Structure formats: C-alpha cells, structure tokens
Amino acid sequence: MAPDSEGRVALRRALLSVSDQSGLLELAKALAGHSVELVATSGTRAALSDPDLRVRSAEELTGVGAWFGGRIKTLHPGLLGGILAPRTEEGTAELQRRSLVPIDLVVVNFYPFEAGLREKPNRPDPEELVDVGGVTLARAAAKNHKWVAVLTDPSDYAAVSAELDQTRGSLSAATRLRLARLAFERTARYDRAISAGLAPSSIAGPTPFPETATFRKDPLRLRYGENPHQATAAYGLALPEGVLSPWPLELRKGDSLSYTNLLDLDTALATVSEFPTPTAAVVKHATPCGVASGATVREALERAIATDPVARYGCVIAVNRPVEADAPEALKGVYVDLLGAPAFDPAAEAALSRRSKLKLVRVDPPAIDRPRWEAHSATGRLLLQETDRRQLVPSEFRLVTAGAPATPHEACALDFAWRVVRHAKSNAIVLADGSKTVGIGAGQATRVKAVELAVGVAGPRAKGSVLASDAFFPFADGVEVAAAAGVRAIIQPGGSLRDPEVIAVAERHGIAMYSTGWRVFRH
C-alpha cells in the first residue's frame, strides 16, 4: 500500500518465515488484531496453530512446495514480486497483471549458522547451515523499505506492535528505515560468520582468532571518554564463537558510567575473580591499589581499603560476593566512585543509595575457568589476545635460595600476592601479609622504583610481608630495597642474566626467593 501524506504505510499483508520462533505467536496475534492477513511458510505456519489465527500458506502465493529437500521454498516471484514491487501506479498495475499480491511486512530470521557451528564445530558440511531464502527475503524487504517493513530480530517485535497500536495498524517511514538498516546489519553479520565458518581452519576446528570480527554498538550509554571533551561509545565484539559478548551489568544507581569506569571495573572484577573466598579489589587508573580477602564482604572491604588511604580516593571497588546489610559500614568516610557486586542486600542498597555520588553496578565477576579474550587498539589496529588465566601450579613454585623456605603463612601470602600482581600495571610489585595487600607499586619504568613505591605505601607494614614481582629483577637493587623494609619472602618469574646476583642478595638478607618461570606483564 502507498504511504499516506505523513509517510506511514498501513499493513495489509505480512509474510512470516522464521527459524527463531521467540515472540512469534504474540506478534501474529498483534498483527491479526489490526486485520493484517498472515502468510507463512510451512514450519512457521505450524508454530501458529492457534484456533483464533487464520494463517494462509505461502504455497498459495507460489503454487509450489519445497524443492530439493527444502532448499527452495521462498525463492519465487510469487513472494519476491509482492515484496519488491514499487507501490506506484505502474507497479500496482503489474502486480495485478501478474496475479501477484503486495506484501507489506516481512518477518524473517535465518538458519542459525553461528549456533550450528558452535554445537558441532567439526561438521563436514557447514554450508548446509547457510540460509539463502531467508536472507533474500530480508534484503528484498529492506531494499524496498519505502513501502515495505522488515523484522529480523524478535527483540523488535514489541516496539513494532506498540506503534501499530498507536497508529491503527501503520508504520512510519522512520521505523521502516530503521528496521531496514537492522536487516542489512544482520545479513552482513551473517555473511561474515559464514565466510569465517567456511575457512579451511574453521572447518577443521575452532581457531583462536577468526579471519573476521564484527562490532555492534552496545546500548550502554557512556558519559565521555578518558576526558570530558572526548566522545565515546561502547561496542561488543561479536566473534563467530561469541566469546567476546559483553558481560551483563545493571546500573542500579547513578546516571551513567564513563569510559574509565569500565576500565577500572574490568580490572577490579578480574582481580576478585582470582579468589574463592569473599574478596574486594580497590582500583584506580585501571590498576589495583588494595586487595583483600576476608570471612565476609565487610571484612574484605575494610582490609582492602586500608592498603592505601591516599590512592583509594575516588576509586572503583568490586567484590565477588553479594554485599551484605552491614558491609556499607566499611566504606564510611571513603569516597568511592563506583561499587560493583553480584547482588546487594536491600538494606545495604538503601544505605549506599544515600551516598549522592556513588554509582552501584550489579555485575558478576568472570568465571576463572571460562576462556576470555581482550581487545585493545594500537596504530590503527585491533589487537586481540587471550586473557591471562594461567594458574600457578606447585611444581612451578620453585625455591631458588639456599636458606630456609617460606613459612606456611608466608607461602599463602606469596600465592595471594602473585594473583594480585598479574592485574597491576607493569612494572608491578605487590606486598602482602596473609590474604591482604599492604603496599602496591605499579606502572613504573623501572622495577626498583615500583619496589620503592610499594614499600613507601606499606610503611611499617612492610616488615614481615612478602613480595610478588610481575617480571624478573634485572638488577639486585629492588631486592636490596625490599630487604631494608623487612620483606621476608619474594616470588618472581626469574630468567634475568643477573639471576645469580639477585639470588645471592636475597640469601644474604635471609629472604626466601621463589621462581615461577613465567611472567605476568600487564600494560
């Protein structure tokens, strides 16, 4: 039907052909309520077996059923002509001459190629998962959006139904254009997934890095970039395997998040995910400045924020357990910009909501055993790497000094410090006592300066603590600084040309030094 003076098109006939039947029945009832004639392919028609719905078979418009085992069902002028015909006087006359009927709405989604490859990545015939007819219907309707609307995502059904209710069964030109763009975006993603899935390496089995990757804008609204004068947006990187889908998060309090909020929150969540007991991580400038475990979230918070009373100002904090009713007491007098947790006790949320500038985010830390990927940009390129999830095993915990080994308390502290230092910016040094940090030095150009910073933050708490270094000591000066502060044990990767000298200095000061054999740099 031709648009009215306001560019609206009244829907008279809809073609439905879907693989994903989510929300299909509700949409069909909404369309029928506006006297829209429903036409459906066989599988979709079977899913609409409601006694109150009259659904016409698509075969009535084509005169043929499925050919070649279902490969050809919708590739027919009886359908495509009704979609692509211009609603001009000439176009309408040709429709009548050819005994075709116009189709005003196409509801279609495709064979789940991506999901099919995930379920069976080594299948010998991935091309059998490729949808041809559905993609053709979507492209045809999107091309003709001046007169035709297209729905390719069930998440759009509700908004379209609402507009039909408001306008007595018509859709605006703006809505049709928006839906057309979404359809073209979907066909583009689908084609890229197919291209990657048919690559020889993909057919042989899943590969770490696909040939193509797709970004899709996230609905999460960010205030600004690293500085208020920089615009920003968040995107999800959708690989065929779906491994970089954004973590679900809910902003429970606060107007919006910033670019740096997400960077800090990511570091805090990754840090607390290292630990099985209640743990809190205090982060500033995407590096931890205090981490601690405790019997409760409140205790973990109290111990973590005590690490660095200066650096914690305006921090982001994440915890790996729901925030209990009394946990907010630990944050009294501390300016916290954002607190992220898997859940909030109602009493805790009420207390925290009274802090005017605090943002609350409900988010789960990533599972330690779940593969993850990280994306960064440099020199106009997208850089992908596997997230460092490697765990230290007992055989890698090698004593390299000749003196007495660490005590059980010190050994536990070394393990704790190593889990924290991998999340601090390099060069990074962490001092720990038991299951809490007492000093962190990070982001330095020299390792000795990182040690000096950590020792300075710890003050008298450095005495009796242990130290973790994210990479080897290139010189013995860092060990000398640690020894002077009273550090009792050190864990570090080793591998420096001066390892003998570094080990000798540790032995001279009675420090038990352990080598892991692998580093945990984080830039």
How high is the pLDDT of residue 324? 94
Joined together, the tokens standing for residue 510 give: 């009675």
Is the per-residue pLDDT at 203 higher than 90?
no
Percent of all residues in the chain with a pLDDT value above 90, rounded to a whole number: 63
Please indicate, yes or no, whether the overall pTM of this predicted structure exceeds 0.85.
no
419 in helix, strand or coil?
Answer: helix
Q: What is the mean pLDDT of residues 104-123?
A: 78
Percent of all residues in the chain with a pLDDT value above 70, rounded to a whole number: 91
How high is the pLDDT of residue 377? 87
How high is the pLDDT of residue 121? 63
Question: Residue 440: which H helix or E strand, with range?
Answer: strand 436-441
285 is catalytic: yes
Residue 238's pLDDT band, with cuts at 50, 70 and 90, is low
How high is the pLDDT of residue 202? 45
Closest CA to 413 of 450, 438, 443, 393: 438
CATH architecture group of domain 9-204: 3-Layer(aba) Sandwich (3.40)
How high is the pLDDT of residue 72? 74
Is the per-residue pLDDT at 131 higher than 90?
no
For CA atoms 475, 477, 482, 484, give the dihedral sign.
positive
Is the per-residue pLDDT at 188 higher than 90?
no
> Catalytic residue among 29, 34, 76, 143, which?
143
CATH number for the region 250-363 comes to: 3.40.140.20
357 is catalytic: no
Bridge partner residues of 339 (DSSP): 317, 360
pLDDT digits (tens, 9 = 90+) for 318-370: 999 999 999 999 999 999 999 999 999 999 999 999 998 899 999 988 776 55
Bridge partner residues of 319 (DSSP): 280
Where are the chain's structural domains?
A: 9-204, 250-363, 394-515
Joined together, the tokens standing for residue 55 give: 């659904």
How high is the pLDDT of residue 205? 42
Closest CA to 292 of 394, 439, 399: 439
| φ, ψ (nearest 5 deg) of residue 291 | -140, 140
Distance CA 244, CA 241 (A): 8
How high is the pLDDT of residue 3? 64
Q: What is the mean pLDDT of residues 244-257?
A: 80
Q: Which residue has the tokens 């408001």?
A: 166
Exposed/middle/buried for residue 204 (C-beta within 10 Å: 0-12, 13-18, 19+)? exposed
Q: What is the mean pLDDT of residues 8-14?
A: 91
Bridge partner residues of 441 (DSSP): 429
How high is the pLDDT of residue 200? 54
Is the per-residue pLDDT at 279 higher than 80?
yes
Q: What is the mean pLDDT of residues 155-175?
A: 92
Distance CA 464, CA 445 (A): 27
Joined together, the tokens standing for residue 280 give: 């809190």
What lies within 8 Å, CB to CB, of 329 at 6+ separation is: 298
Q: What is the 3-state secondary structure (H, E, C) of 194-230?
A: HHHHCCHHHHHCCCCCCCCCEEEECCCCECCCCCCCC
Say if domain 394-515 classifies as CATH 3.40.140.20: yes
Determine the residue type at 242: G
Is the per-residue pLDDT at 473 higher than 60?
yes
Q: What is the mean pLDDT of residues 169-185?
A: 93
Q: Which residue has the tokens 């993909």?
A: 202
How high is the pLDDT of residue 373? 75
Q: Pairing between strand 170-171 and 9-10?
A: antiparallel
> Catalytic residue among 29, 34, 285, 449, which?
285
> Helices 157-167 and 173-197, interaxial angle, to 10°?
160
Of the candidate ranges 42-46, 71-75, 156-160, 476-480, the one whose mean pLDDT is the lowest: 71-75
How high is the pLDDT of residue 4? 63
The mean predicted confidence, pLDDT, of the chain is: 88
Determine the residue type at 311: A
pLDDT digits (tens, 9 = 90+) for 379-436: 988 888 888 888 888 888 899 999 899 999 999 999 999 999 999 999 999 999 999 9
Domains 9-204 and 250-363 share a fold: no
